[in-house]
Amino acid sequence: MNKRILIIEDEEKIARVLQLELNYEGYRTESAFNGKTGLERAESEEWDLILLDVMLPELNGIEVLRRYRKKNISTPVILLTARDAVPDKVNGLDHGANDYVTKPFEIEELLARIRACFRTSVQKGQAEGNADELTIHDLKLNLGTRDILRQGKRIELTSREFDLLVYLLHNKNQVLSRDQILSQVWGYDFVGDTNVVDVYIRYLRKKIDYPFDMQLIHTYRGVGYSLKEPL
């Protein structure tokens, strides 16, 4: 069955161009032209992916994303952002966006990001089908409920931090390069500063390592990171 994509974009000409291009690629598409209507459509129907503009009337894209993620944590969302809207990009990723594309963009780039999101969704689905719980030492993560416990204490993570921890757990005791982490967790071939990995590793450490006596995340200078069982 052809995948369904919801386009939430207030510029109707852009939305129409996106629909034509995506339909040509075999996707089924529908559009909403403001945040309120877009959120209603997103929550009331099943979608395989959502393209979400940040600057929307009635309800901005970040707020749409925040509310949508309360009910749906699995459907991929790609943000469409202005060139200089760095805070929007960071805020969007923290609230569960899977990726973002900066306007103006080439349609080939957007199509590649969409394909990458679908590949990542398949990989996550396979992982969840293989095991509901991932563990290392005294840390437990349940893929179904998204509960994370260490020494019995509940840990709250953002969507991106959760994805990063899942990837580290699936590859525990292995040293992973920044490029590997970017490709698998961010879901596309990242072009730019790999420092984003360092930033999110730091976020993760503050929540799953620093409050506890035993360190699980280890840095290998010049190489990358590893989630390792204590010796």
Output the domain CATH number for residue 95: 3.40.50.2300
CATH of the domain at 187: 1.10.10.10
Q: In terms of residue numbers, what domain contains 98?
A: 4-125
pLDDT at 204 (0 to 100): 96
pLDDT at 188 (0 to 100): 54
Which of the residues in the chain have pLDDT under 50? none
pLDDT at 102 (0 to 100): 87
Both 113 and 140 in one domain: the answer is no
pTM: 0.57
pLDDT at 118 (0 to 100): 83
pLDDT at 192 (0 to 100): 56
Both 118 and 135 in one domain: the answer is no
pLDDT at 105 (0 to 100): 86
Both 157 and 114 in one domain: the answer is no
Both 33 and 141 in one domain: the answer is no
Both 96 and 140 in one domain: the answer is no
Both 75 and 105 in one domain: the answer is yes
pLDDT at 20 (0 to 100): 95
Beta bridge partners of 28: 4
Both 118 and 212 in one domain: the answer is no
pLDDT at 131 (0 to 100): 54
Both 211 and 102 in one domain: the answer is no
189-207 pLDDT tens trace: 555 566 889 999 999 999 9
pLDDT at 209 (0 to 100): 95
Domain count, the chain: 2
